[in-house]
C-alpha cells in the first residue's frame, strides 16, 4: 500500500521532472520558438501546482493514498 | 413543517424537470442515430474504411498491407471494433449501419454502466439507504447528452467502443479488492483493458490509470497484473506483426506519429470545459477531496489520466473525440461526488434536494444541440430561441444548433444529400477502371474494389514510409477510371500526378461538402473526339 507521503514524493519528483524537461529543451536546442515558448509556459504552469500538491501530500504522512 | 414540505415538493419538481431535460437529449440522440442508420454513404470521412476493414476480416484477409502496391490500402487501427462488426455483415450486408449499430450500442452500454456504478456506489448500507435514482440516472444520461458523444456515437468509428471497454475495465478494477470476487474482477478488468487497447491505441491512458490504482493499494498485485497484461498484449502484438509481415507495426505505430499543434489542444480543452463545466468541476473537486482527505478511487484516477488523452487532441487527425473518455469519467465521478455530498450532509437534505437538480439544470443548456426544423424539433427550437441557428457547410446550410459552434457532424441528412450521393454513385458505376476515392462507400456500394486510404498514405508519406512510385505510375498511365476528392488528403506527389493526368468534370455538393469528380484526360480526349467521327 502506498501512503500519502510516498505519493507526495512521487508527485514532487514528477513536477520537478517536468520543470527540468521544460527548461532543458532550451539547452539542447529543441522547440520551434526562441526564448521561453508557449509550451514551456504551459509546462511550468502545470508543474508548479503539481509540486505544491506533492508537498501537501508529504505533510499528510502515512495515511493510505 | 410546511416549509419543509414545500422544499420537498420543490425538490421533487426540479428532479422531474431534470430527468425530462436529459431524456430530451436522449431523444435527440436517438433521432440523429436513426437518421444516420439509413444513410448509405460516409457521413464522416473514414467510416467506409472501418467497414472495409470488417469486410476484409470476414474474407479472412488482413487490413494491414503494403501501401506502396495496389490497392494501396491499409488500416491504421487495431482490429477489435472491426471484428465486432463481422457477425452483423451476413445480416445487414456490407453496409455502414452494421458498424454504426455497434458504436451506438457501445455508447448506450457506457451510459448504462455509468448509471449502474453510480447507483451502486451511492448506496449507504450503514444508514440502510439504497442508491437513489436521480443522480445515477442523470450521470448516465449526461454522457449521452454530451455534444461530443452525440456527434460521434452513431458513427461507424471505433472510438466509442473503446470508451465502453475502458468504462467496464475501470468498473471491474475498482472492485479488485472485493472480498469474494476480487480475483474475478481483476481478471475481467484486465481483459477489458486489453479489449480497449485492441480497439484503439488511445486506451493506454486508461491502462495507466487502472494499474496506478492497483499500485496504490497493492504493489505486488499491480506488478503481477501489469506484467500479465504486458505479456498478453505483447504476445498478440507479436503474432499480428508476424502474420502481417511487419505491416502491423508500420501501419499501427509508425504511421500514427503525426504533427502536433498545441493551439488545437488548448482550444479543445477550453471547448470541452465550456460544454461540460459542472461535470468537470464536480469531478475535479472530488479528485482533490480524495487526494487530500480520503483515498484515491479508480474513478478519480481515471478522470485525471483521461486528461492525458485530451492533451493528444492537437495531433494531426485528432480532434474532440479524444475527450470522450474524459467525459465518461467526468459524468461518472461527478455522480459519485454528488452522491457523497448527499450521504454526508445529513443536516441539510432539503437544500441538497434543490441544489443538485439546479446544478444539473445549470449544466443542461451548456451542451444544447438539436435539429432546428421538423415537426418535433422545429417548435422545440423555437421555444428554446435557437430556431434561426444554422450550421454553414462548404456548400450547404444545415438547420441544426450546437453549443460548440461550427461542427461538421450532428445535423440530419436531407433528400438533396441522397440525390447527390446517387449522382456520385452513377459516376462510379460507369467508371472505366478502378476508382480512386477519398471515401470507401462509393466503391463498396458499386461493387468496386476499395483503392487507397488517403489519410494513411499521407501519414506514411509524412514519416518517409511510403514509396509512391507505383501509384504515380498508375496515375500517369491513367489506369484509374475516376477520382473522387473531398479533402485532397493524398500525399503531394500523388496530388501533382493527378493534376497532370485528370480533369475535374463535376462538383457535387453532398452532406455540406463538395465532392470533386475527376476523369482521366484520355476519356475527355475520346469524348471531345467523338463528334468528329
Nearest CB to B295 within list A39, A42, A64: A64
Rounded distance, CA A36 to CA B375, Å? 56
B384 burial via Cβ count (<10 Å: 0-12, 13-18, 19+): middle
Query: B296 and A65 in contact by Cβ < 8 A?
Result: yes
How many Cα atoms within 13 Å fall on the side-chain side of residue A59?
8
B42 burial via Cβ count (<10 Å: 0-12, 13-18, 19+): buried
Nearest CA in chain B to A41: B262
Measured in angstroms, the CA of B218 and the nearest CA of chain A are apart by 5
Contact predicate B333/B287, CB 8 Å: yes
Residue A45: its chain B contacts at CB < 8 A? none
Please identify among residues 293-332 of chain B the ones whose CB lies closer than 8 Å to any CB of chain A.
295-296
Which residue numbers of A have CB closer than 8 Å to B's CBs?
1-2, 7, 38-39, 42, 53, 56-57, 60, 64-65
Query: B219 and A39 in contact by Cβ < 8 A?
Result: no
Rounded distance, CA B195 to CA B359, Å? 35
Question: What values do phi and psi take at B370, rounded to 5?
Answer: -170, 150
DSSP track, A3-58: BHHHHHHHHHHHHHHHHHHHHHHHHTT-SSSSSS-HHHHHHHHHHHHHHHHHHHHH
Check CB contact of B86 with chain A, cutoff 8 Å: no
The tens place of each residue's pLDDT in chain B, 533 residues long, gives 577 788 889 999 999 999 999 999 999 999 999 999 999 999 998 999 999 999 999 999 999 999 999 999 999 999 999 999 999 999 999 999 999 999 999 999 999 999 999 999 988 766 666 668 999 999 999 999 999 999 999 999 999 999 999 999 999 999 999 999 999 999 999 999 999 999 999 999 999 999 999 999 999 999 999 999 999 999 999 999 999 999 999 999 999 888 889 999 999 999 999 999 999 999 999 999 999 999 999 999 999 999 999 999 998 888 999 999 999 999 999 999 999 998 887 666 788 889 999 999 999 999 999 999 999 999 999 999 999 888 888 899 999 999 999 999 999 999 999 999 999 999 999 999 999 999 999 999 999 999 999 999 999 999 999 999 999 999 999 999 999 999 899 999 999 999 999 999 999 999 999 999 999 999 888 877 775 54
B371 burial via Cβ count (<10 Å: 0-12, 13-18, 19+): buried
- Provide the ipTM: 0.91
Query: A38 and B216 in contact by Cβ < 8 A?
Result: no
Residue A42: its chain B contacts at CB < 8 A? 262, 266
- The three grid cell numbers given for residue B528, joined into one nine-digit string: 471531345
Biggest CA-to-CA distance, chain B: 99
Q: Name every residue whose Cβ is closer than 8 Å to that of residue B79 and which is 6 or more positions away in sequence.
A: B53, B57, B63, B198, B240
- The three grid cell numbers given for residue B276, joined into one nine-digit string: 461540460
Place of cell 433528400: B415
Query: A56 and B292 in contact by Cβ < 8 A?
Result: yes
Measured in angstroms, the CA of B77 and the nearest CA of chain A are apart by 29
Residues paired with residue B482 on neighbouring β-strands, in sequence order: B435
Encode pLDDT of A12-63 as tens digits. 999 999 999 988 877 766 656 666 788 889 999 999 999 999 999 999 999 9
Check CB contact of B291 with chain A, cutoff 8 Å: yes
Pairing mode, strands B435-437 and B482-485: parallel
Q: Which ranges constitute the DSSP H helices of B86-146?
A: 89-92, 96-121, 134-145
Check CB contact of B116 with chain A, cutoff 8 Å: no
SS3 label, residue B524: helix
Rounded distance, CA B415 to CA B413, Å? 7
Query: B262 and A2 in contact by Cβ < 8 A?
Result: no
Query: B218 and A60 in contact by Cβ < 8 A?
Result: no
Q: Which of B419, B418, B381 has the alpha carbon at shortest distance from B401?
A: B381
Residues paired with residue B484 on neighbouring β-strands, in sequence order: B437, B517
Query: B216 and A1 in contact by Cβ < 8 A?
Result: yes
Q: Which of B456, B437, B491 has the alpha carbon at shortest distance from B65?
A: B456
SS3 label, residue B284: helix
Rounded distance, CA B306 to CA A18, Å? 19
Q: Name the DSSP class of B253.
A: I
pLDDT at residue B64, rounded to an integer: 96
Query: B216 and A53 in contact by Cβ < 8 A?
Result: no
Check CB contact of B95 with chain A, cutoff 8 Å: no
Query: B262 and A57 in contact by Cβ < 8 A?
Result: no
Q: Name every residue whose Cβ is closer than 8 Å to that of residue B502 and which is 6 or more positions away in sequence.
A: B475, B478, B480, B483, B518, B519, B520, B521
Check CB contact of B215 with chain A, cutoff 8 Å: yes
Rounded distance, CA B151 to CA B407, Å? 9
Query: B291 and A39 in contact by Cβ < 8 A?
Result: no
Query: B291 and A64 in contact by Cβ < 8 A?
Result: no
Rounded distance, CA A15 to CA B90, Å? 54
Can you give the residue ranges of every domain in chain A? 4-59
Q: Which of B169, B190, B173 has the alpha carbon at shortest distance from B182?
A: B173
pLDDT at residue B348, rounded to an integer: 66
- The three grid cell numbers given for residue B366, joined into one nine-digit string: 451548456
Interface mutation vs chain A, best among B208, B263, B291, most A CBs within 10 Å? B291
Interface mutation vs chain A, best among B216, B222, B266, most A CBs within 10 Å? B216
Nearest CB to B295 within list A39, A53, A65: A65
pLDDT at residue B531, rounded to an integer: 59
DSSP track, B192-240: HHHHHHTT-GGGHHHHHHHHHHHHHH-HHHHHHHHHHHHHHHHHHHHHH
Q: Which of B162, B163, B113 has the alpha carbon at shortest distance from B139?
A: B113
pLDDT at A4 exceeding the cut of 50 = yes
Measured in angstroms, the CA of A56 and the nearest CA of chain B are apart by 8
Contact predicate B352/B337, CB 8 Å: no
Q: Name every residue whose Cβ is closer than 8 Å to that of residue B48 and which is 6 or more positions away in sequence.
A: B41, B42, B96, B156, B439, B440, B441, B442, B444, B450
Query: A42 and B262 in contact by Cβ < 8 A?
Result: yes
Whether omega for the bond prior to residue B116 falls within 30 degrees of 0, making it cis, is no
Query: Considering the entire predicted model, what is its pTM?
Result: 0.94
Beta strands in B250-409 (DSSP E): 369-371, 391-392, 397-398, 400-402
pLDDT at residue B128, rounded to an integer: 67
- The three grid cell numbers given for residue B21, joined into one nine-digit string: 431535460
Rounded distance, CA B477 to CA B471, Å? 10
Give the count of Cβ contacts less than 8 A between chain A and B: 24
Rounded distance, CA B427 to CA B481, Å? 10
Query: B292 and A39 in contact by Cβ < 8 A?
Result: no
Residues paired with residue B369 on neighbouring β-strands, in sequence order: B402
pLDDT at residue B533, rounded to an integer: 46
Amino acid at each position: 500500500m502506498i501512503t500519502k507521503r510516498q505519493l507526495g514524493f512521487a508527485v514532487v519528483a514528477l513536477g520537478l521532472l517536468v520543470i527540468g524537461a521544460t527548461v532543458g529543451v532550451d539547452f539542447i536546442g529543441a522547440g520551434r520558438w526562441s526564448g521561453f515558448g508557449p509550451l514551456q509556459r504551459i509546462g511550468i504552469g502545470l508543474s508548479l501546482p503539481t509540486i505544491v500538491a506533492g508537498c501537501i501530500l508529504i505533510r499528510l504522512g502515512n495515511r493510505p493514498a | 413543517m410546511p416549509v419543509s414540505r414545500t422544499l420537498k415538493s420543490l425538490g421533487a419538481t426540479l428532479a422531474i424537470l431534470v430527468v425530462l431535460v436529459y431524456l430530451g437529449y436522449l431523444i435527440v440522440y436517438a433521432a440523429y442515430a436513426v437518421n444516420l442508420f439509413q444513410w448509405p454513404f460516409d457521413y464522416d470521412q473514414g467510416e467506409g474504411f472501418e467497414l472495409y476493414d470488417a469486410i476484409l476480416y470476414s474474407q479472412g484477409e488482413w487490413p494491414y498491407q503494403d501501401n506502396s502496391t495496389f490497392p494501396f490500402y491499409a488500416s491504421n487501427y487495431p482490429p477489435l471494433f472491426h471484428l465486432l462488426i463481422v457477425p452483423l455483415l451476413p445480416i445487414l450486408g456490407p453496409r455502414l449501419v452494421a458498424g454504426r449499430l455497434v458504436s451506438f450500442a457501445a455508447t448506450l452500454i457506457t451510459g448504462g454502466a455509468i448509471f449502474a456504478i453510480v447507483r451502486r456506489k451511492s448506496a449507504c448500507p450503514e444508514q440502510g439507504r439504497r442508491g437513489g435514482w436521480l443522480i445515477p440516472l442523470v450521470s448516465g444520461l449526461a454522457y449521452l447528452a454530451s455534444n461530443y458523444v452525440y456527434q460521434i456515437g452513431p458513427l461507424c468509428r471505433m472510438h466509442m467502443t473503446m470508451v465502453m471497454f475502458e468504462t467496464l475495465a475501470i468498473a471491474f478494477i475498482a472492485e479488485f479488492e472485493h472480498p469474494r470476487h476480487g480475483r474475478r474482477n481483476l481478471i475481467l478488468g484486465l481483459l477489458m483493458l486489453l479489449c480497449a487497447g485492441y480497439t484503439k491505441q488511445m486506451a493506454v491512458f486508461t491502462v495507466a490509470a487502472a494499474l496506478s490504482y492497483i499500485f496504490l493499494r497493492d504493489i505486488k498485485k499491480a506488478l503481477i497484473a501489469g506484467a500479465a497484461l504486458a505479456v498478453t498484449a505483447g504476445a498478440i502484438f507479436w503474432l499480428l506483426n508476424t502474420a502481417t509481415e511487419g505491416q502491423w507495426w508500420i501501419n499501427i505505430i509508425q504511421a500514427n506519429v503525426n504533427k502536433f499543434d498545441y493551439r488545437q489542444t488548448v482550444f479543445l480543452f477550453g471547448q470541452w470545459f465550456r460544454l461540460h463545466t459542472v461535470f468537470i468541476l464536480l469531478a475535479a473537486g472530488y479528485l482533490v477531496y480524495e487526494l487530500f482527505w480520503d483515498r484515491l478511487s479508480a474513478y478519480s484516477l481515471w478522470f485525471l489520466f483521461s486528461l492525458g488523452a485530451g492533451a493528444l487532441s492537437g495531433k494531426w487527425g485528432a480532434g474532440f473525440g479524444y475527450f470522450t473518455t474524459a467525459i465518461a469519467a467526468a459524468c461518472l465521478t461527478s455522480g459519485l461526488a454528488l452522491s457523497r455530498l448527499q450521504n454526508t450532509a445529513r443536516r441539510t437534505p432539503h437544500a441538497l434536494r434543490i441544489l443538485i437538480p439546479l446544478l444539473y439544470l445549470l449544466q443542461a443548456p451548456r451542451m444544447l444541440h438539436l435539429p432546428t426544423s421538423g415537426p418535433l424539433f422545429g417548435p422545440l427550437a423555437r421555444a428554446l430561441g435557437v430556431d434561426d441557428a444554422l450550421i454553414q457547410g462548404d456548400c450547404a446550410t444545415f438547420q441544426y444548433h450546437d453549443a460548440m459552434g461550427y461542427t461538421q457532424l450532428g445535423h440530419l441528412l436531407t433528400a438533396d444529400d441522397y440525390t447527390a450521393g446517387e449522382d456520385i454513385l452513377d459516376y462510379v458505376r460507369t467508371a472505366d477502371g478502378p476508382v480512386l476515392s477519398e471515401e470507401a462507400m462509393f466503391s463498396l456500394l458499386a461493387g468496386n474494389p476499395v483503392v487507397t486510404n488517403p489519410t494513411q498514405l499521407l501519414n506514411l508519406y509524412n514519416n518517409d514510409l511510403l514509396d509512391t512510385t507505383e501509384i504515380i505510375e498508375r496515375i500517369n498511365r491513367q489506369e484509374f477510371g475516376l477520382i473522387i476528392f473531398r479533402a485532397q488528403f493524398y500525399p503531394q506527389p500523388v496530388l501533382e500526378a493527378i493534376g497532370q493526368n485528370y480533369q475535374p468534370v463535376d462538383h457535387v455538393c453532398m452532406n455540406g461538402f463538395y465532392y470533386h469528380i475527376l476523369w482521366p484526360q484520355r476519356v475527355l480526349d475520346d469524348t471531345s473526339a467523338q463528334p468528329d467521327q
